[in-house]
């Protein structure tokens, strides 16, 4: 496909890890060694694939392949889980003729259950069969668990030395399902980038995208974003200007993927774009944005299309950010609703009703305390979310 970065192949298999009749094993193979980077969950309980990835990348920031399975997250699985993870890498590597140390693992699915090694043994060899015919979209579908649509974005970047392509795929959000862990992303690029630069680019992009969204405020045991930059375009990106352009391109791509994650949030009907500016620091801006974006009261108000400035203000007030309460300005959909410690003297309900009906709602705060800034995407909190996540037992 013309949008796919050069030098990557895709493969899928239907192992039957959880459900029959669907692809639940996916592989991305770079035809040559690629700079490899990763951004991982900060949860103290780290799934086996996360631990193994970190180990592999720590030893050598290069890889040939990314593998993903859905069905079992291989989290909270102890020593057996780690051993199984390594064994699956041997199987996959053997199937496509590369070294086991060149494969980075990811898993998503039920926490606490061991991998089904018999099914892995049967399915891994099948990967070779679809290599070259399967598409990036096939892999994006294989990684899905509770997603209602596959998430894939591609971009082209024109540099003086030539064209570079980036493709990203992801699944999930926060920890949105009973035991489904959780958010995975693969970022593929055909630029020739040094590993350290590529890691910095992925980190920068993730901090402004995957790490700047919230569905239910949770970070799972498995959240992982892996990036491969394989140089197959023959365009070397070493200079500051080129790296900056690539960084912006990857960041935008990750932000588009993140937007899709929040759109697909379980039971969600809204995407709130919460921007906090004028904070004493970027960290305080983030604290403030997260307090607002995770507040059940703010999120239920969003669901109800209620421009409830009081809940936003109260959430900001308890966020820990430092500011003068009389200086804060709050805008919803660009309309000033709160300043000088009081609501704006206008008919807010009338002005804001049409704004609140949209899927996308902009909530902007200026704390007038500095230059710190952060933007967070957040979903609303709905009855459907409760239905999905409360496990009714009759």
Which positions lie near a second copy, rule CB under 8 A? 42-46, 75-78, 111-112, 175-176, 178-179, 181, 216-221, 294-297, 300-301, 303-306, 308-311, 313-318, 321-323, 325, 338, 340-343, 353, 381-383, 385-387, 389-393
Residue 280, annotated as binding a ligand: no
Specify the residue, 241 or 340, whose C-beta has the smaller distance to a second copy.
Answer: 340
Specify the residue, 97 or 341, whose C-beta has the smaller distance to a second copy.
Answer: 341
Q: Give the strand pairing for 25-40 and 8-13.
A: antiparallel
Specify the residue, 121 or 353, whose C-beta has the smaller distance to a second copy.
Answer: 353
Residues 139/142/146/148 CA torsion (nearest 10 deg): 60
Residue 145, annotated as binding a ligand: yes
- Residue 261: strand pairing partners: none
Helix axes 309-317, 282-294, angle to 10 degrees: 130
Specify the residue, 9 or 382, whose C-beta has the smaller distance to a second copy.
Answer: 382
> Which among 106, 182, 214, 375 is annotated as catalytic?
182
Give me the least distance between CB of 110 and a second copy, in Å please: 8
Give me the least distance between CB of 373 and a second copy, in Å please: 19
Distances (CA, A) of 294 to 60, 152, 270, 316, 367: 37, 26, 14, 11, 19
Distance (Å, whole) CA 31 – CA 292: 45
Q: Are 194 and 184 in contact (CB under 8 A)?
A: no
Strand order in the sheet with 329-332: 213-214, 372-379, 271-279, 360-366, 329-332, 335-339, 342-343
Q: Give the strand pairing for 180-181 and 103-110.
A: antiparallel
182 tagged catalytic: yes
Q: Are 161 and 191 in contact (CB under 8 A)?
A: no
Give me the least distance between CB of 323 and a second copy, in Å please: 7
Distance (Å, whole) CA 241 – CA 264: 35
Distances (CA, A) of 47 to 17, 32, 213: 17, 28, 21
Nearest to 224 by CA among 33, 25, 41: 41
Specify the residue, 9 or 220, whose C-beta has the smaller distance to a second copy.
Answer: 220
Q: Are 188 and 166 in contact (CB under 8 A)?
A: yes
Specify the residue, 218 or 362, whose C-beta has the smaller distance to a second copy.
Answer: 218
Give me the least distance between CB of 274 and a second copy, in Å please: 16
Distances (CA, A) of 185 to 78, 167, 296, 316: 24, 11, 27, 31
Residue 278's Cβ-side half-sphere holds a number of Cα atoms within 13 Å equal to: 13
Give me the least distance between CB of 338 and a second copy, in Å please: 7
For residues 14-42, one letter each, b for 16 or more C-beta atoms within 10 angstroms of the residue's C-beta and e for the rest, the string is bbbbbeeebbbbbbbbbeeebbbbbbbbe
Specify the residue, 181 or 202, whose C-beta has the smaller distance to a second copy.
Answer: 181
Residue the block writes with tokens 């949770």: 218
Give me the least distance between CB of 42 and a second copy, in Å please: 7
Give me the least distance between CB of 215 and a second copy, in Å please: 9
Residue 389, annotated as binding a ligand: yes
Which of the 8 DSSP states describes residue 357? T
Q: Which residues sit in the known binding site?
A: 145, 171, 182, 266, 389, 394
User: Which residues are identified as catalytic?
Assistant: 182
Q: Which residues sit in the known binding site for substrate?
A: 145, 171, 182, 266, 389, 394
């Amino acid at each position: 496909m013309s949008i796919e970065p050069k030098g990557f192949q895709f493969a899928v298999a239907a192992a039957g890890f959880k459900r029959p009749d669907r692809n639940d094993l996916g592989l991305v193979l770079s035809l040559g060694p690629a700079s490899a980077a990763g951004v991982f969950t900060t949860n103290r309980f780290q799934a086996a694939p996360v631990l193994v990835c970190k180990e592999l990348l720590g030893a050598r920031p290069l890889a040939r392949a990314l593998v993903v399975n859905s069905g079992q997250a291989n989290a909270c699985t102890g020593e057996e889980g780690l051993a199984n993870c390594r064994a699956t890498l041997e199987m996959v590597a053997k199937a496509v003729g590369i070294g086991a140390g060149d494969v980075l693992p990811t898993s998503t699915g039920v926490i606490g259950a061991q991998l089904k090694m018999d099914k892995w043994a049967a399915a891994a060899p099948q990967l070779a069969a679809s290599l070259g015919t399967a598409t990036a979209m096939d892999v994006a579908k294989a990684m899905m668990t509770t997603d209602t649509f596959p998430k894939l974005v591609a971009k082209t970047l024109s540099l003086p030395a030539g064209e570079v392509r980036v493709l990203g795929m992801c699944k999930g959000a926060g920890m949105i399902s009973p035991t489904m862990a959780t958010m995975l992303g693969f970022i593929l690029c055909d630029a020739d980038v040094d590993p350290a630069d590529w890691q910095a680019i992925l980190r920068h992009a993730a901090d402004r995208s995957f790490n700047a969204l919230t569905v239910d405020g949770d970070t799972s045991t498995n959240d992982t974003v892996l990036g491969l930059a394989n140089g197959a375009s023959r365009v070397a990106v070493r200079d500051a200007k080129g790296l900056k352009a690539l960084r912006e391109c990857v960041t935008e791509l990750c932000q588009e993927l993140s937007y899709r994650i929040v759109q697909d949030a379980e039971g969600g009907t809204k995407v709130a774009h919460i921007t906090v500016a004028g904070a004493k620091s970027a960290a305080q801006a983030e604290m403030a944005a997260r307090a607002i974006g995770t507040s059940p009261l703010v999120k239920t108000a969003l669901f109800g299309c209620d421009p409830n400035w009081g809940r936003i203000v109260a959430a900001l007030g308890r966020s820990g950010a430092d500011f003068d309460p009389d200086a804060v300005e709050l805008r919803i959909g660009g309309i000033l609703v709160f300043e000088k410690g009081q609501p704006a003297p206008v008919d807010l309900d009338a002005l804001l009703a049409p704004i609140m009906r949209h899927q996308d709602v902009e909530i902007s705060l200026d704390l007038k305390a500095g230059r710190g800034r952060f933007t967070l995407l957040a979903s609303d909190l709905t009855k459907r979310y409760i239905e999905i996540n409360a496990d009714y037992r009759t």
